């Protein structure tokens, strides 16, 4: 198992999400940066849905009690295993007693720790993704123990694989027009494609709010379904980009819809970073 | 036996790479909601299990597990629409106990005062209504209930409360509903229900479905406490009946 000595700023267990319950109002959850989570699992020859740790901003201190293989992807956070720097995107062996900790955040916002066979924490409604109130806690806490099946085999991905994941740190993201895009005045449409938007301090697994506003408006819709990546426009002109733990319905116009890839890129942004949209 | 179905003018919009939104005329209307549910049922039969369908008021979102050719899907659904089945929907009427005591009803006195009614009159109107579940969202198990008596319409509070208790029964604008768990919220709170509307430990965590009907009935504090214990132990069952149109 993994013993959690320190949980870090916000570390949670995530798989590809809790599908099948959205019509009961249950958010889909799952890794914010799907690309990095799936990459970690593929490097380990795991199922894409195997549970990983999503590590936000400041990493945890963890101790492994059994042999396994691990890999790190996503945000760069100066990880060390027993005081030796740990590489990214490369599977390494872990022996019982090994400890993993992190230094200062260098680049991006969310790192993913994959583990051979995935974490075997509790399945709730067919998913291990943490989300309250469906699971008792939304993140891992000091003293938690996270089970996994020990693995003593050899590393399978011996060939050095060149991973092209620099796109995660792009500052311009592709978006589709959302269902209510057509309600926007021309000036706002022009601004969307040309202006930079700053990530507000109000950003978490539910939503990212953006600082710069579009025009105040009195557009409203009858409550209808929303998705991760849906950009809602409030009456004050504020844009709210819904993320993986977002509510399943909403009453604000849905002006844009991020691509899957764009959601991963945004998940690597923190307060004060700037993004631009490219409406496709 | 059944009247012929009215065919609405539907619009089909792709939402990103793997979702499709179908919209009915923009109205809050029981007949439209029924048509949404009816079409949802017939689409459901044509899709794999891992597709998700989220109906609400006048719309239906279909989420595919993978990138999907939305033009092809639109053609398929367009031709399916006239073939949807014209049989009565299987719906239930749920009877939800609510304690309207002062202890829970944070805004009841204020609302009564603003409306020039007594608290008992507010409770009477609230328990006389039969409400339709137009959507489930916002929180797991949160029902958007339509059909509130217009005498009870009350705007949301200017400042949402940071913590509303689980079970709180509120009025928000023209809607009423129950907070299935503790959450921030801006509705006017008039009571509290001891039942659990959402329980992740159950295989079916939320038993009430879109299109179902809901009635509230008033209970005393002693009964509230009894039901709370039964609900916590997972043995309380919300009373229900079949609903016939």
ipTM: 0.94
Q: Report the phi/psi class of residue A15: left, alpha or beta, with left for phi > 0 and alpha for psi in -120 to 50.
A: beta
Q: Cα separation of A88 and A92, whole Å?
A: 10
| Probe site for chain A from B33, B56, B209 (most A CB atoms < 10 A) | B56
The dihedral through the CA atoms of B41, B42, B43, B49 has a sign that is positive
Q: How far apart are CA A242 and CA A257, in angstroms?
A: 9
What is the rounded average pLDDT of the residues B140-153?
95
Low-confidence spans in chain A with pLDDT less than 50 = none
Angle at B187 between CA B191 and CA B222, to 5 degrees: 10
Helix (H) or strand (E) holding A82: none
Chain B residues touching A23 at Cβ < 8 A = 52-55, 136, 210
Which of A20, A25, A27 should one mutate to test binding to chain B, selecting the residue with the greatest count of B CBs within 10 A? Answer: A25
A221, closest residue in chain B (CA to CA)? B26
pLDDT score, position A160: 63
A25, A125, A227: residue with CB nearest B141: A25
Residue A155 is predicted with a pLDDT of 82
- Contact status, residue A258 vs residue A231, Cβ threshold 8 Å: yes
pLDDT of residue A67: 97
Distance (Å, rounded) from C-alpha A15 to C-alpha A210? 27
Q: What is the distance in angstroms between the Cα of A123 and the nearest Cα belonging to chain B?
A: 10
Tens digit of each residue's pLDDT (9 = 90 or more) over B157-200: 888 898 999 999 999 888 999 999 998 888 999 999 999 999 99
pLDDT at residue B125 above 60? Answer: yes
For chain A, how far is it from start to end, CA to CA, in angstroms? 45
Q: Which whole number is the average pLDDT over B118-147?
A: 96
Who among A20, A24, A223 is closest to B206 (CB)? A24
Q: Mean pLDDT throughout B18-47?
A: 95
Q: What is the pLDDT of residue A156?
A: 75
Residue B2 has pLDDT above 60, yes or no: no
Do B140 and A24 lie within an 8 Å CB cutoff? yes
């Amino acid at each position: 198992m993994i013993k959690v000595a320190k949980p870090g700023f916000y570390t949670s267990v995530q798989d590809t999400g809790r599908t099948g319950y959205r019509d009961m109002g249950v958010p889909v959850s799952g890794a914010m940066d799907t690309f990095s989570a799936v990459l970690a699992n593929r490097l380990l020859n795991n199922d894409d849905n195997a549970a990983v740790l999503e590590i936000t901003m400041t990493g945890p201190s963890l101790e492994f009690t059994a042999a396994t293989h691990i890999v790190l992807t996503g945000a760069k956070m100066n990880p060390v295993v027993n005081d030796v720097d740990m590489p990214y995107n490369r599977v390494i062996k872990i022996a019982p007693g090994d400890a993993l900790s992190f230094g200062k955040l260098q680049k991006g916002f969310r790192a993913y720790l994959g583990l051979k066979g995935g974490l075997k924490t509790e399945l709730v409604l067919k998913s291990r993704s943490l989300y309250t109130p469906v699971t008792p806690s939304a993140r891992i806490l000091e003293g938690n123990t996270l089970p996994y099946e020990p693995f003593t085999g050899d590393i399978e991905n011996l060939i050095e694989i060149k991973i092209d994941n620099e796109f995660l740190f792009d500052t311009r993201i592709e978006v589709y027009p959302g269902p209510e895009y057509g309600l926007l005045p021309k000036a706002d449409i022009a601004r969307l494609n040309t202006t930079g938007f700053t990530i507000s301090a109000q950003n978490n697994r539910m939503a990212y709010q953006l600082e710069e506003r579009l025009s105040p408006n009195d557009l409203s819709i009858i409550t209808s379904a929303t998705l991760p990546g849906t950009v809602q426009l409030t009456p004050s002109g504020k844009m709210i980009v819904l993320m993986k733990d977002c509510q399943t319905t909403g009453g604000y116009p849905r002006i844009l819809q991020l691509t899957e890839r764009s959601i991963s890129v945004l998940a690597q942004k923190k307060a004060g970073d700037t993004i631009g949209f490219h409406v496709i | 036996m059944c009247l012929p179905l009215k065919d609405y003018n539907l619009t089909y919009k792709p939402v990103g790479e793997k979702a499709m939104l179908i919209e009915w005329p923009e109205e809050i209307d029981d007949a439209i909601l029924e048509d949404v549910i009816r079409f949802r049922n017939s689409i459901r039969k044509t899709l794999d299990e891992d597709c998700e369908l989220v109906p609400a008021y006048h719309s239906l979102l279909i989420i595919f597990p993978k990138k999907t050719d939305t033009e092809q899907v639109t053609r398929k659904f367009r031709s399916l629409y006239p073939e949807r089945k014209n049989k009565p929907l299987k719906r239930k009427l749920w009877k939800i106990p609510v304690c309207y005591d002062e202890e829970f009803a944070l805004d009841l006195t204020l609302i009564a005062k603003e409306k020039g009614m007594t608290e008992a009159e507010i409770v009477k109107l609230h328990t006389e209504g039969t409400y339709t579940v137009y959507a489930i969202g916002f929180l797991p198990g949160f029902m958007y209930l339509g059909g509130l008596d217009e005498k009870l319409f009350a705007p949301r509070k200017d400042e949402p409360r940071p913590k509303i208790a689980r079970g709180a029964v509120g009025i928000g604008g023209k809607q009423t509903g129950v907070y299935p768990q503790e959450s921030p919220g801006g509705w006017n709170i008039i009571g509290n229900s001891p039942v659990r509307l959402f329980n992740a430990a159950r295989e079916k965590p939320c038993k009430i479905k879109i299109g179902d009907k809901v009635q509230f009935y008033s209970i005393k504090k002693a009964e509230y406490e009894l039901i709370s214990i039964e609900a916590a132990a997972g043995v309380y069952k919300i009373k229900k009946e079949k609903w016939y149109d």
